[in-house]
Amino acid sequence: MSASGSFGRGFRDGCINAIPFAFVMTPFGMLFGVIGTEAGLDIDQVLGFSIFVLAGASQITAVSLMSEHAPTLVILATSLAVNLRMGMYSAALVPTFGSLPMWKRALGCYWLFDQPFALTSIDLVRKPQRSVDERVAFYLGVAIPLSLLWYLGTYLGAVVGESIPADIGFDFAVPATFLALVAPMLRSIAHLAAALTSIIGTLLFYDLPFNTGFLAAAGIALIVGTEVERRLVNPRKEAVSND
Amino acid sequence: MIESSYIWMIAVLLGLGTWLIRFSFLGLVGNRQMPLYIRQMLNYTTVAVLPGIAMPMVLNGVNGGIEPLRILAALALLAVGVWTQHMIKALAAGLLIYFAGGWFIG
């Protein structure tokens, strides 16, 4: 198959995998559009946030803090802390995308939010035979449509001025899509241990400032998963890399 | 009223900072091999991060308190996902229980 053919196949597969998330992207974008408008931003500014940042929770944090007239440094530090998990995504994708030319890495990482990362890393296990180019296409096939829906939602929220009411259950649909990504991996004891650590740790450290509790829980969960793998899945012999 | 130039400054700085976080390892490590232990750890990134994001959202109901239906629906979603190994089926089960249960309770 030609190079462009494998790109098309990867992109299409990415789009298909993104479909369940397409339904929550626009309502979530609308929520930000409404919060931003109510904080005093005009449509251009609200859209500017979504295009420059492309990370919902941190955008909501920044706009809320701005409307409370928090100091600039506090606004930036708090909102960026929400996005620090994406540094873990960046590291996790090094074995996959590290060989790409610098400009592709610099450009592609713009879309490194939760869904493109998670779906790409799941696809890595399910379809290990894809070439790097096909895998980039898969990643972009998830990321680009979802980012467009994010902009669209932001625009609609800012123009209409009303979000989809939370009590029809959309606020449950967002965490549900995240759990649905994780659930199929939980047959492995090491993955199950990591997931439980993440949940328990996040709840235990919930009151720590600047999102540090969540990040600490995630870091501990990585170690727990690895240690369980080394002890149970691969006892005695030196553990082999499964990336 | 917030100054317009100030809003743009925050948007640009937050965008730049977020891009730097996303670029960090992909940009700096690039093609170099990371230590085996680190690579093994990073295989757990999805399961180490997403449950921690999802759980507080499940536990915080619309009216602020804990709603048993949300927890029940989340557990059903996880059970169906582990059983079928299928993301869509898991999602469908969780949403069905949540919406049907909500309609039933009223």
Does the interface predicted TM-score (ipTM) exceed 0.95? no
Residue among B10, B23, B94 whose CB faces A62 most closely: B10
Q: How far apart are CA A5 and CA A1, in angstroms?
A: 6
Q: Does A62 touch chain B (CB under 8 A)?
A: yes
Q: Is B7 on the interface with A (CB under 8 A)?
A: yes
Cβ within 8 Å, pair A91-B29: yes
CB contact under 8 A, B39 and A219: no
CB pairs under 8 A between A and B: 292
Average pLDDT on A53-77 reads 95
Residues in B 27-86 with any Cβ partner in A closer than 8 A:
27, 29-32, 34, 36-59, 62, 70, 73-74, 77-78, 80-82, 84-86
Q: How far apart are CA B79 and CA A184, in angstroms?
A: 9
Nearest residue of chain A to residue B47 (CA atoms): A195
Closest by CA position to B38, among listed A197, A223, A188: A223
Contact B17 A80 (CB under 8 A): yes
Cα A120 to Cα A42, A113, A137, B70: the distances in Å are 35, 11, 10, 28
Nearest by CB to A92, from B7, B45, B102: name it. Answer: B45
What are the contacts of A232-239 at 24+ separation with CB within 8 A?
A: A232/A189, A232/A190, A233/A188, A233/A189, A233/A190, A239/B36, A239/B40
Asked if A46 is an interface residue toward chain B (Cβ–Cβ < 8 A), one would say no
Residues B25, A94: C-beta atoms closer than 8 Å: yes
Task: Compare CB distances from A180 to B11, B30, B81 and report the shortest one's residue.
Answer: B81
Interface of A with B in 143-162 (CB under 8 A): none
* pLDDT tens across the length of chain B (106 residues): 678 999 999 999 999 999 999 999 999 999 999 999 999 999 999 999 999 999 999 998 777 788 899 999 999 999 999 999 999 999 999 999 999 988 887 6
For A220, the closest chain B residue by CA position comes to B48
A239 pLDDT tier (thresholds 50, 70, 90): very low
pTM: 0.91
pLDDT tens, position by position, A82-128: 999 999 999 999 999 999 999 999 999 999 999 999 999 999 999 99
What's the rounded Cα separation, in Å, for the pair B19 and B9? 15
